Structure 1
Amino acid sequence: MTATEAPASSPPPGAAPALTPTLRAQLRRRRPWIVIAVVLLLGALVLLVVQGGTRAPGPALGAENPAPAGSKALVEVLRVQGVQVTEARTIDEAVDAARGGATVFLYDEFGLLGDEGLDRLASAADRLVIAEPGFSPLERLAPGVRLAGAATGPLDDVACDLRAAERAGDLSDGQRLLTVDDAASADGWTGCFRDGDFGYAVVSGPGIAGGDVALVAATTVFTNERIDEAGNAALAIGLLGASDELAWYLPSPADADEAAAPTLADLTPGWVSPVMVLAIVVTIAAGVWSGRRFGPLVVEQLPVQVPAGETSAGRARLYARSAARVHALDQLRIGAIRRISALLRLPRGADVAEVTAAAATATGRDAASVDRLLVSHAPAHDREFVELATQLYRLEQDVRRSIRPDHDEPTRQTGRRS
């Protein structure tokens, strides 16, 4: 647009358009952040796709889970052999199946089943097989049987007369161990697949109501990934296929005992409350000490005065650092419009259009060029910004000369007397 051409879109009379960066300028300025956001978004999408593709199709030891950690292979073999396998979704379904004579398989991966649920299940089941028992099932159902770490390798020392263990003969590596103390041995608990003096991979004994309970320290013998190794399959089928019905029970959060869940006070160490009280007292004392007054308030002058020029220079440096040419130009234009309005004795309520028209009339310039200088044109780079600032200064000087033509022209002295 030249100085003589009218702006493409002029503001309505009486309104001063606000010059703000265009969408393209904002996108160009924020391009690095946009690139970072796009990269993060793509990374999140890739992560979701990878996790979705590798996520197991069911829970660990799930009866219908064909993943390596599932147990679908074992369940299908049991069904082929005539065992009716049903999944118990709740503790009530598992107890009902146990009362009907079914063998119950329990794998409580997250320790959701409380003592009451364990007692109900052990009292109702004639045959209960627990995979990878935790501390609570051992304390509740098999006192004296304790966890003893991992086995050193494959196990082939049956060391018991449990029929399923004798048929298996040996187990693959990846087993975990349990120990049986003298009191547990006296109660009828025996271990199978001994790993030296470290412990046993399988422990069996009497339940609460006289049924049989088998504790398998690891999940290895039940998983799709390892069931075909050594005698794992023979042990799993022997333990779970002892009856015509099998209830496959994996506790869910709905089976958790809410009454037994620890409260916040139970989880909080005993030293926390005294320390919190001491911290509150110290904070209050420090606030009183810091906020104390020694007498009435005294008004005094600040020892330092900041000149207005330093403030303007500091703001200019901030504009320059952030490349905010439009904001800086707006400030220059606002100042120039105010001074031109004061020079031309325009009323305080005069809008930008009136100031532009009055300045064009006073200086003899084209109204479109004055409007372009005071309102419509936005600089594209720093050099154009400097040129616009210089033109604003010249416009203001021209207005000043137009109202005081003799003020800036010095009288020439010829040295001659007329």
Structure 2
Amino acid sequence: MGGWAVIAAAIVLIGAGSAALLSVGEWTEREALDPDSAGPGGARALVEVLRDEGLTVDVVRDRAAAERAVAAGPATLVIGDTTPLDDATLGEVALLGDDVVLVDPRSRDLRVLVDGSAAAGVGDDVIAEPGCALPAAQRAGGILPGAVFRGAPGVTACYPSGEGDALLVTTRDERSLAALDAVDLFANAHLADNGNAALAVNLLGAHPRVVWYLPSLADGALTDSSPTLGALTPDWVTPSLVVLAAAGVTAALWRARRFGPLVSENLPVTVRAAETTEGRARLYARSRDTVHVADQLRYGALDRLARDLGLGPTAAAEETADAAAARLGMDRARVRGILIDDRPTTDAELVRLADALQHLETAVRLAVRPGRNPQ
């Protein structure tokens, strides 16, 4: 009884420890460009840089919290992945901040918020200079863009690369709205590269407060209408499972037995290794499968020859045969015939092949280690 209790307690402790480790990993890594994540793809380093510059950074994860944070005073609204938001909600959210920065824009975001701009693939793998008169870009200098965009007429485009530009800036209801692929620029792993940190501070630091908004699934009109497992399960299933679980635990406790000491048991027959070898040889002889027997003899000979010749266990049969022929100065075709090509069809030919293999191994061993006993 006590042993089963210990096992049950160990299972519970292991489960609790695994859940704690998973929780730690979730909070540490999170998703790309998460301002609370210290992983390579997170943005905690940028948040700390902004705070060192005297800015207040609020991280919010739903629309209501974002509205409350923005209402506290002038702020730059940073919007993360907008996938949960529908078009109408996206347009409303973009009116919250005094300035807005899209750090992970989708093609839909550019169409709705940046005057019909569009994605244009990825930039060239070279440093791009600002190429525009925008002060934030001019002060930052060059960057290595990730995704690039094709700006609509009237949109300020900076950092030309590939078939587009890395940064688009437009004015929306007297608010500055910037869009750039910050995943390759503002993440912890890349923030110190080129002018990335300077560009981030210039774009996000126009106001004393930064509200970093990560939309949740409940923020938009898109809701998950699929039924849950509980909704699909009949009412009688849960009580039945509880009764079955209780019955199983009761049966385990009822039938449990304490493990006793190990008991040694003498085998009725001890079989010598030689008898096993002889029995296998008789089976081979009875089947008259001389080719298979020859292959078994060759496998052992090739393995030993490879070790003697210093070729290693992965050497091919042809490589081993050629090395043996070269070492002995023999005809390569003859050595390959012994080790690979010859196919004995009778017992007499099989015996001759076995003798040839043994003579070949002995000759190689004497050539490699002269003066030693070939056995």
Kindly indicate whether the alpha-carbon contact (under 8 Å) linking 1:56 and 1:67 is maintained by their aligned counterparts in 2: no
If you compute each CA radius of gyration, which structure gives the higher value, 1 or 2? Answer: 1
Query: Structure 2 vs 1, CA of residues 49 and 171 (structure 1 numbering), >3 Å: closer, same or farther?
Result: same
Rounded to whole Å, the distance in 2 between the matches of 1:116 and 1:52 is: 35
- 1:210 is aligned to 174
Rounded to whole Å, the distance in 1 between the matches of 2:105 and 2:161 is: 18
SS at match of 1:125: coil
- 1:152 is aligned to 124
Query: Structure 2 vs 1, CA of residues 249 and 53 (structure 1 numbering), >3 Å: closer, same or farther?
Result: closer
- 1:229 is aligned to 193
Q: CA RMSD in A?
A: 3.0
- 2:160 is aligned to 194
What are structure 1's unaligned runs of at least 5 residues? 1-46, 264-418
Rounded to whole Å, the distance in 2 between the matches of 1:245 and 1:223 is: 20
- 1:103 equivalent in alignment to 2:76: yes
Shift of 1:102: 0.8
Identify which of 207, 211, 221 aligns with 1:257.
221
- 1:179 equivalent in alignment to 2:179: no
Per chain length, whose mean CA-contact separation is higher, i.e. which structure has more relative contact order (CA < 8 Å, sep 6+)? 1
- 2:84 is aligned to 112
Rounded to whole Å, the distance in 2 between the matches of 1:149 and 1:48 is: 40
Rounded to whole Å, the distance in 1 between the matches of 2:208 and 2:79 is: 17
Rounded to whole Å, the distance in 1 between the matches of 2:182 and 2:166 is: 7
Counterpart amino acid of residue 147 in structure 2 = R
Rounded to whole Å, the distance in 2 between the matches of 1:189 and 1:56 is: 38
TM-score by length of 2: 0.51
Kindly indicate whether the alpha-carbon contact (under 8 Å) linking 1:63 and 1:72 is maintained by their aligned counterparts in 2: yes
Rounded to whole Å, the distance in 1 between the matches of 2:225 and 2:202 is: 38
What are structure 2's unaligned runs of at least 5 residues? 1-17, 227-375
How big is each residue's C-alpha offset from its partner over 1:199-258, in whole Å with a ceiling of 9 and x where there is no partner? Answer: 000100012x22000001341221001000011111111111111000011111121313
Shift of 1:144: 2.6
- 1:136 equivalent in alignment to 2:102: no
Rounded to whole Å, the distance in 2 between the matches of 1:53 and 1:213 is: 35
How big is each residue's C-alpha offset from its partner over 1:376-401, in whole Å with a ceiling of 9 and x where there is no partner? Answer: xxxxxxxxxxxxxxxxxxxxxxxxxx
SS at match of 1:133: coil
Rounded to whole Å, the distance in 1 between the matches of 2:24 and 2:64 is: 35
Shift of 1:195: 1.0
Shift of 1:60: 2.2
Rounded to whole Å, the distance in 2 between the matches of 1:226 and 1:257 is: 35
SS at match of 1:64: coil
Kindly indicate whether the alpha-carbon contact (under 8 Å) linking 2:84 and 2:222 is maintained by their aligned counterparts in 1: no
SS at match of 2:31: coil
Kindly indicate whether the alpha-carbon contact (under 8 Å) linking 1:159 and 1:193 is maintained by their aligned counterparts in 2: yes
SS at match of 1:152: coil
- 1:77 is aligned to 49
Identify which of 22, 35, 60 aligns with 1:63.
35
Counterpart amino acid of residue 62 in structure 1 = D
SS at match of 1:144: coil
Rounded to whole Å, the distance in 1 between the matches of 2:67 and 2:100 is: 11
Query: Structure 2 vs 1, CA of residues 103 and 137 (structure 1 numbering), >3 Å: closer, same or farther?
Result: same
Rounded to whole Å, the distance in 1 between the matches of 2:212 and 2:170 is: 20
Rounded to whole Å, the distance in 2 between the matches of 1:218 and 1:62 is: 11
Counterpart amino acid of residue 118 in structure 1 = L
TM-score by length of 1: 0.46
Rounded to whole Å, the distance in 2 between the matches of 1:55 and 1:258 is: 25
Rounded to whole Å, the distance in 2 between the matches of 1:202 and 1:143 is: 14
Rounded to whole Å, the distance in 2 between the matches of 1:225 and 1:56 is: 18
User: Which residues of 2 match residues 234-249 of structure 1 at below 5 A?
Assistant: 234-249=198-213
SS at match of 2:100: strand
